Structure 1
Amino acid sequence: MPNQLPNDARGPSLHQYRPHPDTIAISAGRPERRPDAPLNQPIVPASTYVGGDGTEWVGYGRYGNPGWSALEDAVGALEGGTALAFASGMAAAAAVFSSIPPDAVVVIPEHCYLGVASLAHEHAQRHGLTVRTVDITDTERVLAAADGARLIWLESPANPTMEVADLAAIAAGRPDGCLLLVDNTFATPILQQPIGLGSDIVLHSATKFLSGHSDALCGMLIFADGREELLEAAESARKLHGATPGVLEAYLVLRGIRTLSVRVRHAESTARTLAETLAEHPLVERVRYPGFGSMLAIELPDASAADTMINSLRLWVHATSLGGVESSLERRRRWPSELKSVPEGLVRMSVGLEHVDDLIADLRQALDLIT
C-alpha cells in the first residue's frame, strides 16, 4: 500500500503503525532494496516500452513511468491515499473539473487561487456548471451552499488571503453525495492531512512546497480509500488530455520531498517571527497569518505603498510563485484578472530558508522608504 514502507524496510514493529510524515518523506517512493540497487529512483526517459503478454505493462509514455510511480507512492503515503501526478497543479485541477457533470453545482471559496476561480467560471460559461462562492471560515454557510452540490472545493489556508476552514466539520456536515476536495498546497502534508479529516480528494501544486526549489512544474491529486471511481476518472483524463508530468520534473519533485519536513518547519518558525514583527510596524494595516505554515500576507495602505516596498527590497524576490527555498512575495492585485475582493495593498509572502534577521532587515529598510 502507498502509505506503508516497503516490506524490506520494515522493522519488527513498523508494520503495526503508520510512520510519522517526517519519516515517510524520506523513506517512501524508493526502489527495491537489493545489493547495488540505486538508493533513489533513476530517471527513465522513455516514450515507448516493450510490449508484454499480460495486463501489467505500461505500453506507452503517456500511460506511465517508473519516476511518476515513485513520486506517486511518496505523495500518496504522505497524504494517506492513492496519488496521481500531473504536468502542473492546474492540470490536476482541470482533471477534476472534467469529471464533473455539466449541470452540477460546485462550491468554491470567495478567495482562492486565481487559476482555479477562472477554471470554475469557464466551466460555468461553457458547460452550464453552477458555481457558488462562500466565505470558507463560516462553516454553516459552506454547508448551506453545499445543498445539492456535487463538490466543495476548499483551500485552507486560502490563497492569497490566508483564511482557514474547519475541514473536519465541513467534511462531517456536508450532504450525502457531495464530494470534498482540499487544496493542501500551502499547508503541505507535514502540517495537515485532509484525507484524515474526511476529504475525498487532495490537490497539490507540487511546483511549490513539495518541489521546494523553484525548478519543476508538477501537480498531484490524492484520493481517499474507497474513491476508486474518482481515481479512474482522473487517470483517464490525464491520458486523454496528455497532462502528464515530465520525467525530470517527477525526479526533482521527489528529491525535494526528501527535505520537505525540515524546510517546512524552519520556514514556519521564521514566518511566525515575521508575522509578529510586521504586526508592530505602523505602515502595516493588517497581518494575515493562519498560525501555521510559511505563508502569510500583509496589507499596506494602497497599491502604491505595496509597490514601493516590493521594488525596494534587496533580498526578498519579487515573483508570482511560492514555496521555494528563497523568500518571495508579490502584490496579487497587480494581475488585472485577480479577484476584486483581494485588497489592492495586499502582499502575499512565501517565507524561505534565509536567516530571519536578514529577512526582517530587508523588509524594514523597504518599508521605511514608503512616504
Structure 2
Amino acid sequence: MPSPVAVPIVLTDDEREQLLAWSRRPSSAQALAARSRIVLACAEHPADTNVQVADRLGVSRNMIHKWRNRFASHRLDGLVDEPRPGRPRTIADADVERVITATLETSPKDATHWSTRSMAAHVGLSQTAISRIWRAFGLQPHRQDTWKLSKDPQFIDKVRDVVGLYLNPPERAVVLCVDEKSQIQALDRTAPILPMMPGTPERATHDYVRAGTSSLYAALNLATGKVIGSLHARTRAIEFKKFLVTLDQQVPAGLDVHVVLDNASTHKTPAIKRWLTAHPRFVLHFTPTSSSWLNLVERWFAELTTKKLQRGTHRSVRELNTDIRQWIETWNDDPKPYVWTKTADQILDSIARYCGRINDSGH
C-alpha cells in the first residue's frame, strides 16, 4: 500500500526567521528546537518523503509526520506544547525564557554559577519557581562534569583497531588489556575507624598517615575476565619489560598475544622494541591519546579502587601489596568479563554529535 503524500511546507520569511531562532538559541527547549529543525528540513527539501527526512535527522518517521502536519494546520503555534489539564500556569512564557536565558548565558557577579536563591533575586521570582523551571529544562548549574577530546591524528584508525579487536578477536589468540595503576598509596587513619551502627554510618578521620606507595601492572583477559597482576615500586620501562616476561610465561605458547595499552613512553623504548622483535607473537594495539576509556582494564581498576582501596587502611606497603594480591585472587576465583557492545562507527558518530552540540552552544 503506497504511503500518503507528505504535506508540502512553504515558509514565510518571518516563520523561517523564528524557526531558525528556536533551533539555534541555547535557551530554547530541546523539544521545540527539534520540532523547528524538522519543519525547516521539510521546507528545505519539499520533494523528500517523511522517511527521507527522518533518515537525515535521525528520528522516527512518525515524528516527522506529526510535526509536519501540526505545522501545516496551525503554523508556529502548532509546534508549542498544548496546555495540559490542571491548575493554570502562574508563570508566563516570558518569565520562563528570562530564567533560562539568564541561566545559560550569564553568571552572577559574586559566584561562578547561579543558585536557586540568587536566580530568584535576579529575576524577581520565587525560589520554588526557579527550581521547577530548572527541573523542567534539565538545568543543574551546581554540577560540572569533565570532558576531553583526543587530539591524536590517528584517532579514527586506533578506535577502529581496538574496537575491532574487542568485537571480533582473532582466532588462536589472547586479547589482554594492559595498563599500570601507579602511585597507589598505603594510607592509615590517625585514629581507629568507628564501625557502622543502626542510624550511623561507618566513620573515619579525615586525616591519614602515608606509609609509601606501590604500583600495579595488570592485564585483563578479554575473553575470561581473569587478571594477571604484578606489583612494583616504580613504573619504568624495566618494570614493564618484566611484566611482559610474566605475560609470556603465563599465556600458553601456542597462542598469539594481542595487547591493548596506552601511549606511555615506557611502552615504546628501544629495549621494549627489541624484546617485542624477539617475541613476535606479541602484537601491541595503542589506544588514542587521552582515551583511557577505550581500555577495558581501566574499568577493572575502578572496581579495585571502589571495593578495596578507597576505604582500605594499610600500615605499610607490604600490607597494601598483600591486600591487592588477595583481591586479585578473589576476583580470579569468579571472574566477570566486561562485554564491549558499541561499534567503532557508533562511537565516532556519538563524538561527532557531541562536537556539533558544543560548536553550536556559542562557546
Q: TM-score, normalised by structure 2?
A: 0.24
Q: TM-score, normalised by structure 1?
A: 0.24
Is the radius of gyration larger for structure 1 or structure 2?
2
Higher helix share: 2
